[in-house]
Amino acid sequence: MSRFLTICAMALAGCGPELTIPPDLLAPCPGWTGRRPNTQGELIRAAAAEKGGRVCANAKLEAVAGMIGGG
């Protein structure tokens, strides 16, 4: 009986509009990829790169949330 209910639930979950997420929204956002920062300048560049990566990732999450109606 539980298999039947699981199959029915899966069938219902498959109903609905087809959602296609563009590949650019699924690509990872780059952050700092260099070696460990040793100087103050390198640390500033690394922090800026990490912030840029977070901003990029958050923008992609917001776009996907808007597409699925969760925004």
Using the Cα atoms of residue 59, residue 63, residue 68 and residue 71 in order, give the sign of their dihedral.
Answer: positive
pLDDT at residue 71, as a whole number = 57
Helices (H), 1-71: 2-13, 23-26, 40-68
CA–CA distances in Å: residue 71 to residues 1, 23, 25, 62: 37, 20, 15, 7
pLDDT at residue 61, as a whole number = 93
In this prediction the pTM is 0.66
For residue range 4-62, list pLDDT tens digits in order.
777 766 666 666 677 788 889 999 999 999 899 999 999 999 999 999 999 999 999 99
